[in-house]
Amino acid sequence: MEKVNYIIHLNAVFERFNNDERIKQGHITLYLAFFQKWNREFFKKMLTINRQFIMEKAKFKSKTTYHNYLKDLNDWGYLNYFPSFHPARGSKVRMSIFGTTSGTTTGTQAYQKMANSVPEPGQNLVPSYKHKTKENLNKQAKPKNELAVLIFFKENNWPEMEGRKFYAYYHAKKWKLQRGLNVRNWKSQAKNFVENGYEIRHEAARPISGYLSNMRKSYNEPL
């Protein structure tokens, strides 16, 4: 079992997503699907994965899309992927750990403080402003942290995983909409997110050398 601080790790990953211009929403949802399995297995050093299970969690329908995004996450250092071509042995994934050493970009005291403190329901995590109107607008524009989102989703009986996807996606996008406009009310945006479903916009398939050249034979395809 790896020594992982849940909050520090996720905040470090979100910060890395935010600074990585290559990241798309498909990368985020796929990573969170792997992270959910990793968390439920108590942060095992190596995960044996079931492709169909991960695709369902990430809301992927295309195996090509799944492998494209997985290859990116592997190449960019978010995880290590060990494909298996054996019908009885699943592929394996080793998750990279972020935020726990000085070598990572976000392993700072700020995240340590965040991990060691539990925010109160009414705690204000943004600076006080002279004008209350502006302060209220800022509170509505984005949540205080991921915990606030998860509480809101729980109050509405929405899946926790969808809450994590919602927070990860908009946090990485600095709480901006597709047209570059700022989110004005994150709770309203969350309701739209749940009602409309979280759909991945499939891009044109990119060939992956090695294990994606032939999709016809199941034994030649990573499990």
Q: Which pLDDT belongs to residue 182? A: 87
| 186: its two tokens | 């994150």
| 63: its two tokens | 């195996």
Nearest alpha carbon to residue 49 among 15, 14, 83, 100 = 83
CATH no. for residue 41? 1.10.10
Q: Which pLDDT belongs to residue 126? A: 45
On average, the pLDDT of the chain sits at 76
Cβ neighbours for 107, distance < 8 A, ≥ 6 positions apart: 8, 12, 98, 99, 100, 101
Whether residue 123 is predicted with pLDDT greater than 60 in this model: the reply is no
Looking at the fold, whether 12 and 84 belong to one and the same domain comes out as yes
The residue type of 154 is K
| pLDDT tens-digit map of 187-219 | 988 888 888 765 433 333 344 444 444 444 454
Helical (H) or strand (E) element with 127: none
In a domain? residue 111: no
Whether residue 128 is predicted with pLDDT greater than 60 in this model: the reply is no
Looking at the fold, whether 127 and 168 belong to one and the same domain comes out as yes
In a domain? residue 112: no
| pLDDT tens-digit map of 133-145 | 445 555 678 898 9
Domain count across the chain: 2
Flag whether the pTM goes above 0.75: no
In a domain? residue 134: yes
Q: Which pLDDT belongs to residue 220? A: 56
Whether residue 110 is predicted with pLDDT greater than 50 in this model: the reply is no
Percent with pLDDT over 90 in the chain: 39
Domain containing 161: what range? Answer: 119-196
Looking at the fold, whether 140 and 84 belong to one and the same domain comes out as no
Looking at the fold, whether 123 and 95 belong to one and the same domain comes out as no
For residues 23-48, average pLDDT? 93
